[in-house]
Chain A
Amino acid sequence: MSDLFTIVMTAAGLIFFAAGTLGLIRFPDTHSRLHALTKADNLGLGLIALGLTVQMPGLADLFKLVLIWALAILAAGATAQLVARVAAPADLGEEPRSPTDATGDGETRRR
């Protein structure tokens, strides 16, 4: 029963990952690509992690799985925001800004 749950959930997760990757390859500009990738991949990761919860031998392992899931979500969300900010001028037809020496209201810049 729990194996069936894992198989169904991880398979559903993989479908979302595939859809996100398809969006990354097919969509025209950075923001649409990020949109497809972040939404689909977060859902895919969540489903895979959920599917694996019933396979964990103990509470400590379950906690580690949840921690990994939370960290991956946090990193993916923050990175997506940063990529989107760097890409913003390019999508508006302006000169692209490098993440390292952007000026104006970019998220990260160096002096």
Chain B
Amino acid sequence: MIASLFDLTLCLLILAVAGAAVFGRAAFMAVVFFIVYGILIAIAWLRLGAIDVALAEAAIGAGLTGVLLLAALSRIMRNIDAPEPAPVLEGKTIATGLASLVVTALVAHAFLTLPEPRGLQSRVTANLADAGAENPVTAVLLNFRGWDTLLESIVLLAALLGVWTLARDDAWSGRAGLRHVTRPGGVLAQFGRILPPIGLLVGIYLVWAGSKQPGGAFQGGTVLAAVWIVTIMAGLMQAPRVADRALRAALVIGPVIFLALAVAGVFAGAFLVFPPAHAGWLILAVEAVLTLSIAATLAMLIFGPPEGEEKR
């Protein structure tokens, strides 16, 4: 009774917050509600027993995307004298609306005519012994459906390249983002000293625990990225230069090693196949390098393109 009351309240809250995020007048308000929405969705996943998804949603959906949106907002505020966007033609609006409706109808049709889902849970459980990971989510992500994870890690890199294309030519190869200066011994500088040791421990623990409990490269990588971001925002470190070789190596090492092992799998049977005898440590190795790349990429996404302000 109390449990279903809680779930009902949660559902209503999610709908209300989603509405506020979409229909909110001020951009700042929309962003704040979007972050709250992410947290509530994470709680919803938790209620459904999907702890891995809940962790990912809280870390990436609410945390990282929230920070990205806030950063984009402050960038817009700084360039407030940008020209007004051209008014959208009414015909265009109607055409866009119609196209969206057609797509919605097609997706609804495809979904409603799906054969009765049988689910893959029993097959995953049956083959878990060969997967090299006791956590079924990790087994699916890195072994049974490693293809998706490999492409996801490459998509992240593509996103970073997109951000870097925003850099001006004369600023290129400089330090990413703006330089943060804080009062020495102030609150933020102290916070930036206390948090990293705990954050490093939690981030690495999440990756390590991922083989048999909820956790993994994305969740751990996000925590590690957050540690780096806090340290730089507290003015204790400077963001790296985008041309830095060590940085670039960290960005690509995850996808590169994953891809190399996938190709090596061809000799053991097929592309992306881990031999069951070695799957355990292979998955751990891939998770470790993926964590490094994910953490570096996410942090660089937050820092943004080099702004070339050092020369001033």
Contacts and interface: CB of A to CB of B under 8 A. Distances in A.
B183 interface: yes
A109 B181 contact: yes
Contacts of A74: 191, 194-195
Contact of B188 (A71, A82, A98, A100): A82
B179 A110 contact: yes
B245 interface: no
Contacts of A105: 183
Secondary structure at the A interface, as helix, strand, loop or mixed, is mixed
B188 A78 contact: yes
B127 interface: no
A108 interface: yes
A103 B182 CA distance: 11
B194 A111 contact: no
B187 interface: yes
B13 interface: no
A13 B191 CA distance: 26
A81 B178 CA distance: 22
A111 B177 CA distance: 10
B309 interface: yes
A81 B74 contact: no
Interface string A47-75: 00000000000000000000100010011
Interface residues of B, number: 21
Contacts of B198: 67, 71
A108 B191 contact: no
Given A98-B74, A101-B78, A105-B183, A110 B178 contact: yes
Interface string A8-51: 00000000000000000000000000000000000000000000
Interface string B232-262: 0101000000000000000000000000000
A98 B309 contact: no
Contact of A111 (B181, B187, B190, B191): B181
Given A74-B194, A78-B191, A107 B78 contact: no
B195 A111 contact: no
B188 A107 contact: yes
Given A71-B198, A78-B188, A111 B78 contact: no
Given A78-B188, A82-B187, A107 B182 contact: yes
B54 to A, nearest CB: 15
Contacts of B191: 74-75, 78
Interface of B: 74, 77-78, 178-183, 186-188, 190-191, 194-195, 198, 233, 235, 309, 312
8 contacts: A71-B198, A74-B194, A78-B191, A82-B188, A108-B181, A108-B233, A110-B181, A111-B181
Given A108-B233, A111-B312, 17 more contacts: A71-B198, A74-B191, A75-B191, A78-B187, A78-B188, A81-B187, A82-B187, A98-B77, A100-B74, A100-B178, A101-B78, A108-B180, A109-B181, A109-B182, A110-B181, A111-B178, A111-B181
Which 3 A-B pairs give the minimum distances between C-beta atoms? A110-B178, A78-B191, A81-B187
